[in-house]
Amino acid sequence: MSTQDASLKAYPPSALPRGTRLGEFELRHVLGVGGFGIVYLAFDHALEREVAIKEYLPATLVGRTETMQVSLFSQSDAETFALGLKSFVNEARLLAQFDHPSLLKVLRFWEANGTAYMAMPVLRGHTLKDVRLDMQQPPDESWMRALLEPLLGAIERLHAQGVYHRDIAPDNIQIEPDGHPVLLDFGAARRVIGDKSQSLTAILKPAYAPIEQYAEAGSVKQGPWTDLYALGATLHYLLLGRPPSPATARAVHDDLPPLSAQDLPGCSAEFLNVIDWMLAPRPADRPQTVSALRDVLSGRAPAPRRRAAEPAPPWAWERTVSQAPPAPGAHAAQATHAATLVMPPRLPPAPAAPARRHAVSAAPASRGGPRHPHPGRRAPCTANAQPGAAAPGPRRPGRTASA
């Protein structure tokens, strides 16, 4: 967003007033407002340069008093706000350690007014999402490779320190005027808040988040493959103008058509196959490291090919039946079963057994005359036992076999 565009927008009522001094920084105007903070354009009087200042301000939890102090709407949210504040500071401290042209640089961070701030360089470009919307046709392979190389370098730098972005998407990548991309918004504060409070917006972008981001089980771990899935989904968006199907749906049945099976001018089948590899639903089926991905991109190693999508068979799933919730105090397992009942799949009919011929002799009638079969049921019959034949099955109580 340019300075002129930002100044024409209505000034948000929750923002600090123009001209507010935060140490050596003087706020000029608002660059952007989100659910968890406000970004200002400011002037650094010490170094005589413009900077961007991000303020932690979760709009659903806090407001601002006349003295510019941040104040909770409810004391019941104090723990949630404190956790988010801690993560915001930790994110700033983390980013301040990295120095890569495609990573957002934090110049300084501090706490004041009951919240926290971080100062960063001003970005003058546009998000990758906006860049794609302005394109008349999809980018070709060379354009996307030029985008990938610096992003992979930034992601690899993070992964080397055990840090995972977990929110890579077209609107979190800024394309600067000179063409180089910058990875934005680590979302660390949102991760903690999202786990603690359901009143805030979801931290996941369903079309870009892999399946392991929906669970915190020991058998489903996040790692480098998590960011590489989101990066693959971003490349999918660039090529087709839309992201892939949500990972939750693909985990049940993956009907996403492989890019390598589509006619996409300007892209080789090998490059499209790499993106398919990045988009594998199962974490173990994706590239496990940036280095492994680079090897395939450079042709030093082949990429595993994902099988073509197939339509789900009509008998694969039946339906989900909602049940009334159990009584209070019911066991968790009972509660889960009562809330949702998944009908088992309908199996294909078994082949009919071939008819066998037996010599049948009429059984002597019992006292009271012959018994007629119940309408719609097979009449029980007694076969003469043949040598080696199995004994008749069990009878209903109260009945004896015919003599």
Q: How far apart are CA 191 and CA 177, in angstroms?
A: 31
Average pLDDT taken over every residue of the chain? 78
Q: How far apart are CA 25 and CA 18, in angstroms?
A: 11
Q: What are the structural domain ranges in the chain? A: 1-122, 124-311
Q: Kindly report the pTM of this predicted structure.
A: 0.69
- State whether CATH 3.30.200.20 applies to domain 1-122: yes
Q: Does residue 164 have a pLDDT over 50?
A: yes
- The per-residue pLDDT for 93 is 87
Q: Which two tokens stand for residue 296?
A: 């395939």
Q: Are 95 and 103 in contact (CB under 8 A)?
A: yes
- The per-residue pLDDT for 20 is 95
Q: Which two tokens stand for residue 378?
A: 């097979």
Q: Are 58 and 77 in contact (CB under 8 A)?
A: no
Mean pLDDT along residues 7-15: 72
Query: What is the dotted CATH code of the domain comprising 124-311?
Result: 1.10.510.10
Mean pLDDT along residues 381-386: 44
- The per-residue pLDDT for 38 is 94
Mean pLDDT along residues 315-338: 44
Asked, colleague to colleague, whether 1-122 and 124-311 share their fold, the answer is no
Q: Which long-range contacts (CB under 8 A, 24 or more apart) does 305-313 make?
A: 305/260, 305/273, 305/276, 306/258, 306/273, 306/276, 306/277, 306/279, 306/280, 308/257, 308/258, 308/261, 309/254, 309/255, 309/256, 309/257, 309/258, 310/255, 311/255, 312/253, 312/255
Q: For 202-221, how does the pLDDT look when each residue is reduced to its tens digit (9 = 90+)?
A: 467 899 999 998 875 666 78
Q: Does residue 75 have a pLDDT over 70?
A: yes
